[in-house]
Structure 1
């Protein structure tokens, strides 16, 4: 078992003990908070500690002709986020030809460095995870239901 896998297992165990639903996926974990599922990935930091990457799929998709407006809105939204950022990832269409417009998924992303995996650092991860999910979700919902910022 690699150190990265061991770190991930320890983090998953700690999150489960804090009351979250956690399931292993390929090279990471899915953490469920209510209706929201955050993907969590770990890697060892060469200088010590563990880097934890969080990905929140918002089920929002944007076509490339809307990018100028979307990027401006995302930039404004990102200025108000403390625990993460909104990013665009290209979606690979199954049956696309050269004329098919590109589509991008809107994702929330965050990175947290843990000095080690002691109880205090794992508690800090749990709090960061909760704040990241709440902050990104609230920002997107406020924008979508507030009549402005982000249009697809």
Structure 2
């Protein structure tokens, strides 16, 4: 069940007024924050309030044979994240050649969920702050791991 379109419009307007670039997409919004683009989806909580889901595509891809090392590294990074978590999503191959077996590929995504009691100014401000911290925390953790002294290899 998706949130009422009016509620999503209120969330988008609030984010725009806080200085973020917001674009409507099919069933949610795309928020531009610096170099990052965070997808936002909202749905009504049957018990009241609104559940907001944030997805950050990090444009990192992992092949199946690297999964054990990557999963261990992601688990360690997730322990230090307060506003989100790193997840793997399988990537559908664009072109499938029936004669060749393509390796399974996974995208590394940042994800976060926030429950808003209502769409009051205070709750919308909390969402804006959560969004900023989520994006900064996830990209910072990945960048420091990739470019740090020990780095990870995928």
Structure-2-length-normalised TM-score: 0.94
In 2: Cα distance, 1:4 partner to 1:105 partner: 30
Single out whichever of 38-47 and 3-12 deviates more from structure 2: 3-12
The answer for the alignment partner of 2:125 in structure 1 is 123
Give 1:3 deviation, angstroms.
Answer: 5.0
User: Structure 2 unaligned runs (5+)?
Assistant: none
Contact 1:73–1:149 (8 Å) recurs in 2: no
Structure-1-length-normalised TM-score: 0.95
The answer for the alignment partner of 1:58 in structure 2 is 58
1:23-57 CA deviation, whole Å, 9 max, x = no partner? 00010000011111100000000000000000000
In 1: Cα distance, 2:65 partner to 2:79 partner: 24
The answer for the alignment partner of 2:145 in structure 1 is 143
SS in 2 for 1:111: strand
The answer for the alignment partner of 2:89 in structure 1 is 89
User: Structure 1 unaligned runs (5+)?
Assistant: none
In 1: Cα distance, 2:151 partner to 2:104 partner: 21
Give 1:147 deviation, angstroms.
Answer: 3.8
Give the length in aligned residue pairs.
Answer: 151
In 2: Cα distance, 1:3 partner to 1:83 partner: 22
Consecutive aligned runs of 4 or more in structure 1 exceeding 6 Å deviation: none
